[in-house]
Amino acid sequence: MGLVEFAAAKTLASSAVFLFITVLLMAAAKRTSTCIMLFGVQCAVITAQILAAAFVYHSREAYVVAAMVFVVKVLAIPYALLGIRKRLNVPGGVSASTTPAQSVYIAAGLILLAFLVVQPYVRALALDGEMLAAATAVLLTGAFLMVSRKKALMQVIGLLVLENGIFLAALTTTFGMPLVIEMGIFFDLLICVLLLGVFVFRIRDTFEHVDVSKLRRLRG
Amino acid sequence: MTFAIDFLQVLILVGTAPLLRGLVGRIKARIQNRRGASVWRPYADLRKLFSKEDLISATASPLFRLSPMILFAATVAAAAFVPTLHGFALLGTAGDFIVLVYLLALARFFLILGAMDGGSSFGGMGASREALVSTLAEAPLLLALVAVSIVAHSTSVAGIVRWSSGQPFFHLSPVHALAFVAFTLVAIAETGRVPIDNPITHLELTMIHEAMVLEYSGPSLALIEWANAIKLNLMLSLLVAVFMPWGIAPATSLHGLAIALAAYALKMVLLAVLLAVLESSVAKLRMYLVPDFLGVACALSILAVVFTALKR
């Protein structure tokens, strides 16, 4: 039993580091498939963190949330996104407007910014500063991925990463939302991915590419 | 006793270097569904090369003969800074990690000089590429080690290793995680492994290291190949020593030493397997993308240094 407690404590202490690394690697990734995998890894880290929190704080609801995160975000969404990517049949690059190195510098800057902006809240609410900073950094990087990547599929991934950040922030500040709302959010997310997938297909069928920077004219 | 172990560490680093190379080659062959050469093959290669005649091009100066020796000597000297079995190294007190990094740079400098001295156009091409890669790799390598040394409050490699072996298992700080990723990327670039340079290629357009040693033969080539193998062994051992030194002998007892040796061998084999899998699954980068690859490493290592100020 001691080993499980030890593992839980270590997971809680080090998950922020893994989140930082996934965020930086996502900024460096050059292919949409790598980004989707990294999203899955990021969600796996979050799952581990929720499991550890559930164990430490003896919360039965958190186990259910962890199971849902695992099924929806680690398995279903990456699987669906990979399927969409395969059927879209467009080149696999993310067509970023910054080079990978620049993106990593920007993501690193966003992490530092996250550390700076959460300081007042950490002091006022006595929270885990690193975790809240990680949540904010994930949120900011998701937004950055959305604005700097031209592939329509990357906008979806950026939105999902952004949602991960909000979810983590909620988790660190309030121990998560009530279970019913949590379930609603997961359902929303799944529908959102399906709808956005359909939308990406429509973009491709109408314009014969998925580059959002070229969507300037209306077409019937 | 301590001195003997220090000496043994250098012998292991220098002596097992060809074995590591053979091991990586063997695992790669297995992944590609070939049987592959024996893991002892690099030793046979070295013996063959040492017994051959040294052919020198008519345009070459004495520098051409001298460079492989300086390369080998500098690499072995750098190997004497890396602790593998216990928290001390043969030259542990003689210099810090900056000396280690610049001994490797010295070795590389003479390799580049020798390549250009050979008079073939390939040598010059490989030399200029090597110079580009090493210029870009130097900053992230130094910064990653600086970040770790700030946390460990010691600039000597042995001191860093003693500090991190005293830390509890899996005690991850953002600094170490970031420096680890940056160091791994740099180690791949420094040792000329796949995304940057393909060690088995002989295609003119892509080769870096192979282009530089094209003019060398006999004992000179043997020294260069051996030094290159030592460098791979050294970088991986440094990775093990700085970021995962657990199992290293705390005191000089025969029992602890045996455990340390077993742990070290296990970690190196694990890294060899990882390296082989990585090399079989990743395509070589275009030369123009190498700055991006190392730019990522640089960003990570700068972030690691910045994090040392944020934490503690």
What tens digit of pLDDT does each residue of B102-120 get?
A: 999 999 999 999 999 888 8
Residue B173 clears pLDDT 90, i.e. is over it = no
Give the residue from A213, A216, A210 showing the smallest Cα distance to A198: A210
Report the alpha-carbon distance of residue B280 to residue B195 in Å, rounded: 10
Alpha-carbon torsion angle B153, B93, B182, A119, nearest 10: 10
The reply to whether residue B295 touches residue A130, judged by beta carbons under 8 angstroms, is: no
The predicted-structure confidence for B48-78, as pLDDT tens digits, reads as follows: 999 999 888 888 889 999 999 999 999 999 9
Two tokens, residue B132: 């580009």
Two tokens, residue B99: 């000396």
Two tokens, residue B177: 């995680």
pLDDT of residue B222: 94
Is residue A108 within 8 angstroms of chain B, CB to CB? yes
Number of domains chain B contains: 1
Q: Which residue of A has its CA nearest to B176?
A: A17
In a domain, A8, yes or no: yes
pLDDT of residue B171: 64
Domain boundaries, position B204: 2-310
- Cβ-based contacts of A130 with chain B (< 8 Å): 174
- Cβ-based contacts of A104 with chain B (< 8 Å): 295-296, 299-300
In a domain, A152, yes or no: yes
Report the alpha-carbon distance of residue A181 to residue B1 in Å, rounded: 66
Is residue A130 within 8 angstroms of chain B, CB to CB? yes
| ipTM higher than the 0.85 cut | no
The reply to whether residue A24 touches residue B310, judged by beta carbons under 8 angstroms, is: no
- Cβ-based contacts of B294 with chain A (< 8 Å): 101
Phi/psi at A93 (5° precision): -70, 160
- Cβ-based contacts of B139 with chain A (< 8 Å): none
The reply to whether residue B174 touches residue A13, judged by beta carbons under 8 angstroms, is: no
In a domain, A218, yes or no: no
Nearest residue, CB atoms, B300 vs list A17, A104, A112: A104
- Cβ-based contacts of B303 with chain A (< 8 Å): 24, 108, 111-112
* A64: Cβ contacts below 8 Å, ≥ 6 apart: A179
In a domain, A141, yes or no: yes
- pLDDT tens sequence for chain A (220 residues): 577 887 787 777 778 888 888 998 899 888 888 899 999 999 999 999 888 888 888 888 888 888 988 998 899 999 988 988 888 877 777 778 888 888 988 998 898 899 889 888 888 887 777 888 899 999 999 999 999 988 888 888 999 999 999 988 888 887 667 778 888 888 888 888 888 888 888 888 877 777 777 777 666 5
* B136: Cβ contacts below 8 Å, ≥ 6 apart: B189, B290, B291, B294, B295, B298
Distances (CA, A) of B223 to B25, B227, B229: 19, 6, 10
Tell how far CA B88 is from the center of its chain.
19
Is residue A18 within 8 angstroms of chain B, CB to CB? yes
Domain boundaries, position A15: 2-90+100-212
Q: Any alpha helices (H) in chain B, and if so which ranges?
A: 2-15, 17-31, 41-50, 63-79, 97-117, 121-152, 157-166, 174-190, 209-212, 218-243, 254-281, 290-310
**Portion 150-189 of B in contact with A at CB < 8 A:** 170, 172-174, 177-178, 181
Nearest residue, CB atoms, B172 vs list A17, A99, A111: A17
- Cβ-based contacts of B295 with chain A (< 8 Å): 99-102, 104-105
Q: How confident is the model at residue B170 (pLDDT cuts 50, 70, 90)?
A: low
Q: B296 burial class (0-12, 13-18, 19+ CB within 10 angstroms)? A: buried
Phi/psi at A31 (5° precision): -120, 150
Is residue B212 within 8 angstroms of chain A, CB to CB? no
Is residue B295 within 8 angstroms of chain A, CB to CB? yes
The reply to whether residue B296 touches residue A101, judged by beta carbons under 8 angstroms, is: yes
In a domain, A220, yes or no: no
Give the residue carrying structure tokens 């791994």. B184
The reply to whether residue B296 touches residue A104, judged by beta carbons under 8 angstroms, is: yes
Is residue A59 within 8 angstroms of chain B, CB to CB? no
The reply to whether residue B172 touches residue A13, judged by beta carbons under 8 angstroms, is: yes
Which of B143, B151, B172 best probes binding to A when mutated, by most A CB atoms within 10 angstroms?
B172
Number of domains chain A contains: 1
The reply to whether residue A104 touches residue B174, judged by beta carbons under 8 angstroms, is: no
Phi/psi at B86 (5° precision): -135, 175
